[in-house]
Amino acid sequence: MTIWKYSEEKPAYLLVKFYKENHGEGEFLGDLDEAKIREMILEIKPDIKIDQAFGTLSYFGMLPILVTKKINQE
């Protein structure tokens, strides 16, 4: 599956979007197999439901992953 990856990191969150087609944002990662794609998704969010996430990417052509960060307030 051909994959593009867009990433945006802010103090409060990390947003990563995987695409099956070029949407004008992100970098082209190449033609990757299912195992490699699943591995990349789990590196970003280890507790994600991986079958559901990969299925979303396969069917809809896009998978947004939002990881919120705890901000230390003094």
pLDDT mean for each 10 residues of the chain (74 residues): 95 95 91 96 96 96 94 67
Other CB atoms within 10 Å distance of the CB of residue 67? 14
Query: Which domain covers residue 26, as residue numbers?
Result: 2-68
Rounded-to-integer distance, Cα 33 and Cα 38, Å: 9
Predicted local confidence at residue 71, as pLDDT: 76
Q: Is 62 inside a domain boundary?
A: yes
- pLDDT, residue 70, reads 82
Tally of structural domains, the chain: 1
Rounded to two decimals, the pTM is 0.86
pLDDT at 18: 97
Flag whether 73 is in a domain. Answer: no
Residue 58 C-beta-side C-alpha neighbours within 13 Å = 11
Judge whether 17 lies within some domain.
yes
In a domain, 25, yes or no: yes
User: Tokens standing for 47?
Assistant: 């507790």
**What pLDDT is stored for residue 54 in this prediction?**
97
Is 31 within the bounds of a domain? yes
Residue 8 lies in a domain: yes
